[in-house]
A and B are shown apart, each in its own frame.
Chain A
């Protein structure tokens, strides 16, 4: 694009005329410097109507170019002006449109104070809806128990497959590695006290009672929790949820209960799997680092860890699984029909699910304070 194509203004002080030339089109105006030069030329020009404007040298014009001129005139046609006929309609349109301004968005200190109340209301709202969800789940499970043959078996088994079978790989990998890390860490400390054989107790207790369930839960919250929320959210965006209601398929019975049941069944199994792999990892590391034979490790495990701990771990699995599914469904159903809400909902769902799991874990620790030692 040559220089004479640039949209320019020239101000003749003696005759008090401003002449515009060049292409007054959006891509020419967007060239670097074009608008800056125009503003510079405009600075000495008074806006009292004594200045005449000449647009006859313009080679092309579009709405944005016309708007730029219009704004330079203070949003009204100057009294003395030459406009070629073919461009007149742009200014007619601007004149006819009048002054368009965006409505003010209210803001201020009072509003930000009020937002505290809105936030509290939001939390209360969430809690109330969550309680409602649990109540609905209870009713649905009772209905399922009364007529088991008419239950959503397919949905349950599909969810078990997705949340359970397909998670075996990742939980195995993470469990094994954590077992190795823990084993190395404890072995070094125990070695300084000559208490090498207590490694079995430390690993067994911590993994079976705490780490196994927690690890599995965090992985499942990230994997299945996010996918449940996103799935329900997309169903909301596509109006699939509404379609289900219209056809008389209740969300609770067909969507939520199968997911909760599936995770409640799957999680304890995943906990056992993670426990086993983490212990295998610990065992491998122990035999390398401390020379503790796998045979000894396996033989002394039942003595070191009372059976109650297994049951506590399994129980945690059931509770964590149900919690993750419930939280994911809760946020999934509250997603609004736009993409931003979808992303936000999924993030909040995973964060809340993990927080809820850790909270529940703390409650377990307090309740089963004296059990299994």
Chain B
């Protein structure tokens, strides 16, 4: 039961500077297996930059970023390639390949492996689309013909195509209407349980954050000022946290959280998380 949780992501002493402007100063962060971590912070606090650094899209000026125990800036191309097959990313605007249909977008990562038979790829891609609520009739549409919510869903299906252990979400519910974003939250929660994912997301949406996260990391003053469960984080004395969580919107979302927790969602780290080997 009380196994030591393995850190999936480990950031140590990270510095980021744009010219003379320091964005991150000696930033530390740890994400354990099975967690859903929300990164929050004011605009310009470097959330998206941090996310891009975790994905090895950008290199920090100083410090180490370890994902699955490997230093992603120190590893060579082959290692990095292997890492990249173990994580998935949902970009803020979907970033679907506009020349490919929704179905082909999801099939592409599987075809990229070059060895899976085509009928298996087709069935698996259709299943992924089914899991995010897109039925085969809509699968051949081009991204330009899809609505914003559907683009996000297809983007999620593509991020999940190779059964990642780690999923990054950049503003997953931004631009969705409340009912769509509720169903998106429900979708991510069920996928988190079904696929035993670790999730790191950047979000501004307090409802989404409280509904999903098992942990919250608050980025302010150039580093992570608080990291813990939602209940722990809101107790931290800091002007940003006061303003962000305890405004009117925050209070409303918090009420929801308390109502929610009594009901369904299982507590984190309760041993249901199996160790992927």
Residues of A bordering B, CB below 8 Å: 25-27, 29-32, 34-35, 59-60, 62-64, 67-68, 70-71, 86, 89, 93-94, 97, 100-103, 105, 336-340
Contacts and interface: CB of A to CB of B under 8 A. Distances in A.
22 contacts: A26-B163, A27-B113, A29-B116, A30-B113, A31-B115, A35-B116, A35-B120, A60-B276, A60-B277, A62-B163, A64-B163, A71-B120, A86-B274, A94-B127, A97-B131, A101-B126, A102-B126, A102-B136, A103-B137, A338-B99, A339-B98, A340-B99
Interface residues of B, number: 36
Given A34-B115, A64-B110, A336 B139 contact: no
Given A26-B113, A35-B117, A102-B139, A336 B144 contact: yes
B49 interface: no
Contacts, number: 86
B58 to A, nearest CB: 23
Contacts of B116: 26, 29-30, 35, 64
Contact of B126 (A31, A70, A93, A100): A100
Count chain B CB atoms within 10 A of each CB in A35, A59, A86, A105 and give the residue with the most.
A35
A4 to B, nearest CB: 13
Nearest to A343: B99
Interface in B148-206: 162-163, 194-195
B136 A103 contact: yes
A25 B140 CA distance: 27
Count chain A CB atoms within 10 A of each CB in B103, B124, B162 and give the residue with the most.
B124
A30 B161 CA distance: 13
Which 5 A-B residue pairings sit nearest by Cβ, starting from the closest? Answer: A338-B98, A100-B126, A30-B113, A62-B163, A340-B99
Contacts of A340: 98-99
Nearest to B143: A338
Contacts of A59: 277
A63 B128 contact: yes
A88 to B, nearest CB: 12
A315 B277 CA distance: 76
B76 interface: no
B142 interface: yes
